[in-house]
Amino acid sequence: MKQITIKTLLASSILLAVGCASTSTPTADFPNNKETGEALLTPVAMTASSHDGNGPDRLFDQDLTTRWSSAGDGEWAMLDYGSVQEFDAVQASFSKGNERQSKFDIQVSVDGESWTTVLENQMSSGKAIGLERFQFEPAVQARYVRYVGHGNTKNGWNSVTELAAVNCNVNACPTSHIITPAVVAAEQTMIAEMKAAEKARKAARKDLRSGNFGVAAVYPCETTVKCETRTALPVPTGLPETPLAGNAPSENFDMTHWYLSQPFDHDKNGKPDDVSEWNLANGYQHPEIFYTADDGGLVFKAYVKGVRTSKNTKYARTELREMMRRGDQSISTKGVNKNNWVFSSAPESDLEAAAGIDGVLEATLKIDHATTTGNANEVGRFIIGQIHDQNDEPIRLYYRKLPNQATGAVYFAHESQDATKEDFYPLVGDMTAEVGDDGIALG
């Protein structure tokens, strides 16, 4: 199986505090239970035998809503502490840990080659989502600590939200990590808060999906300019050879043959607020999604959620779409006409009707930001260019940068007219985006 090495970063600390057990309820009699201690050692690296997109870097991010996940008996995740340390326990928490029990072994090693099993056939409580402590005696010397999963009581998945090695003579080993009825009761408050946060997040996403966000847009054709929308725009002259900071987009680039689709719906018509060629050519810009950067570059910002361009797409977009009509709105945006180009393989009637044949998509781009959260198969991924056909997309160009990778990958999808699925082709790396230093960095 492929081994994935990921440097560890500490994320913000949330959702890990569980109320201490009541002294009236007995706990396991560990002689070194103690409520305070030195901070846990931070692994210098984490590796895993495999994962489903939820990588092992999520095992030490202090966030119970993330996880390492891998399906199959014997799949493992390993903590590397950089040098040999003394440990006598591990603390772990589990995805859906209050609904099912996870089965696992803990192995340790000083060199990463010779392993000793210190805990075998361990079972989580199945009653809590917070941290649980699993202690072993005597203490061991180890640099590497490996969790070997054997699925859970409902399926074969190994899904661990947090994992750390502990020395209870040095670190805090609170009684709340020994799962008792009192600990389970105390955890209900945390679970309720997590559910409330998730409910609020979904409500906010619903508002975003409707396009109810963003600074009010100002359209030149409605405010300062008389736009002759039934005639074509003239080709601009005097544009700078190098785009200048402080200029509107149309003062740096020829915007006469583009319109802009935006991810919000300020006029409440259920559709994206599009910006016509005339508005773009006369200086339209938006401070959040479409403007000139300090280096003169033209900025597009797309949101994960927003109003969609059609019922057939799941994704919001900020998109410049080519308009070969150059502002002459007497030419429709639908069908084959003087607003679009076609491939030379098109029927003769389309070749005659179109504005051009065999077009080329070309741009100089840099990517400054990619998503760092989301579904495992979507995180860090977005479309940076595409060529539309009438019913499919001959080219859809992707950039994908994973949070745990130094650089990102570029690949494209192709839909052929008679195919029932799309094919993906790697350019720099592939759609997994596990490219290390060999891809294209942000910026």
**Rounded to an integer, what distance in angstroms lies between the CA atom of residue 194 and that of residue 142?**
35
**Rounded to an integer, what distance in angstroms lies between the CA atom of residue 256 and that of residue 225?**
15
Please check whether residue 164 is in contact with residue 40, taking contact to mean a CB–CB distance below 8 angstroms.
yes
> Dihedral of the CA atoms 249, 301, 335, 419 (nearest 10)?
140
**Rounded to an integer, what distance in angstroms lies between the CA atom of residue 386 and that of residue 381?**
14
Q: Residue 231: its pLDDT value, please?
A: 95
Q: Residue 29: its pLDDT value, please?
A: 55
- Reading the block at residue 285, the tokens are 């810009």
- Spatial CB neighbours of 233, under 8 Å, sequence gap ≥ 6: 256, 257, 277, 278, 281, 326, 327
- 30 against 82, higher pLDDT: 82
Q: Residue 1: its pLDDT value, please?
A: 31
Please give the mean pLDDT across all residues of the chain. 87
> Which residues sit opposite 105 in a β-bridge?
148
- Reading the block at residue 14, the tokens are 């949330």
**pLDDT for residue 273 is more than 80:** yes
Q: Residue 250: its pLDDT value, please?
A: 97
What are 97-146's pLDDT values in tens digits?
999 999 999 999 999 999 999 999 999 999 999 999 999 989 999 999 99
Q: Residue 23: its pLDDT value, please?
A: 34
Q: Residue 365: its pLDDT value, please?
A: 92
When pLDDT is cut at 50, 70 and 90, the band that residue 403 belongs to is confident
Q: To which residue do tokens 């035998």 refer?
A: 49
47 residue type, one letter: T
272 prior amide bond cis, ω within 30: no
Count CB atoms within 10 A of the CB of residue 7: 11
What 3-state class would DSSP assign to 142? Answer: strand
**Rounded to an integer, what distance in angstroms lies between the CA atom of residue 389 and that of residue 416?**
10
Please check whether residue 286 is in contact with residue 302, taking contact to mean a CB–CB distance below 8 angstroms.
no
Residue 131: Cβ-neighbour burial (10 angstroms; 0-12, 13-18, 19+): buried
**Chain centroid to CA 362: how far?**
26
**pLDDT for residue 234 is more than 50:** yes
What are 289-336's pLDDT values in tens digits?
999 999 999 998 888 777 777 666 677 788 899 999 999 999 999 899
Provide the whole-model pTM: 0.58
Paired sense of beta strands 356-357 and 341-342, if any: parallel
Please check whether residue 27 is in contact with residue 21, taking contact to mean a CB–CB distance below 8 angstroms.
yes
210 residue type, one letter: S
Q: Residue 67: its pLDDT value, please?
A: 93
* Interval 223-239 mean pLDDT: 95
* Interval 17-41 mean pLDDT: 59
Of 252, 97, 280, 282, the closest CA to residue 190 belongs to 97
Q: To which residue do tokens 């583009």 refer?
A: 258
- Reading the block at residue 32, the tokens are 């070194």
**Rounded to an integer, what distance in angstroms lies between the CA atom of residue 45 and that of residue 141?**
18
**pLDDT for residue 33 is more than 90:** no
Of 23, 68, 290, the closest CA to residue 162 belongs to 68
What are 200-219's pLDDT values in tens digits?
877 777 767 677 788 999 99
**Rounded to an integer, what distance in angstroms lies between the CA atom of residue 193 and that of residue 199?**
10
> Which residues sit opposite 121 in a β-bridge?
none
